[in-house]
């Protein structure tokens, strides 16, 4: 079974630009969640989608948005990039139902550098 695939793996943008990151979950998984990892703040939850609906959201400004498609693939977008948005963005998938809701399968991440 293929794992979680994130594209692109690396990208460099300048301040003020926008970026779109893509995530393909494990086949059959209906939940996709996104996390931001930085040296200063560690791992922080961005949002989670299940069956095209956002079910949960972290404490990030509105510049961070996401969506999920009917095939469960997800994208996240960051507009008006700031230097502090430089981070590793991790996508994780799970079946999305059941009691053990923290059992996540992570992709290798998209490393964003903002200059």
Partner 1 sequence: GEDVEQSLFLSVREGDSSVINCTYTDSSSTYLYWYKQEPGAGLQLLTYIFSNMDMKQDQRLTVLLNKKDKHLSLRIADTQTGDSAIYFCADVSGGYNKLIFGAGTRLAVHP
Residues that bind partner 1 (CB under 8 A): 4, 31, 33, 35, 42-43, 45, 48, 50, 55-56, 58, 90, 92, 94, 96, 99-109
Shortest Cβ distance from residue 106 to partner 1 (Å)? 4
Q: Which is nearer to partner 1, 3 or 16 (CB)?
A: 3
Residue 83, classed as helix, strand or coil, is helix
Q: Which is nearer to partner 1, 79 or 101 (CB)?
A: 101
Q: Which is nearer to partner 1, 18 or 54 (CB)?
A: 54
Residue with tokens 């997800």: 74
Contact 26, 105 (CB under 8 A): yes
**Closest by alpha carbon to 96, among 3, 1, 12, 28?**
28
Shortest Cβ distance from residue 45 to partner 1 (Å)? 5
Q: How far apart are CA 65 and CA 60, in angstroms?
A: 9
């Amino acid at each position: 079974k293929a794992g979680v695939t994130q594209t692109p793996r690396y990208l460099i943008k300048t301040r003020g630009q926008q970026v779109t990151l893509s995530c393909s979950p494990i086949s059959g998984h209906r939940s996709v969640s996104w996390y931001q990892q930085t040296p200063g703040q560690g791992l922080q939850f961005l949002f989670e989608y299940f069956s095209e609906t956002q079910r949960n959201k972290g404490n990030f400004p509105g510049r961070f948005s996401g969506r999920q498609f009917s095939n469960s693939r997800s994208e996240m977008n960051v507009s008006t990039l700031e230097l502090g948005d430089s981070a590793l963005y991790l996508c994780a998938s799970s079946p999305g139902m059941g009691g053990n809701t923290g059992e996540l399968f992570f992709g290798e991440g998209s490393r964003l550098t903002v200059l």
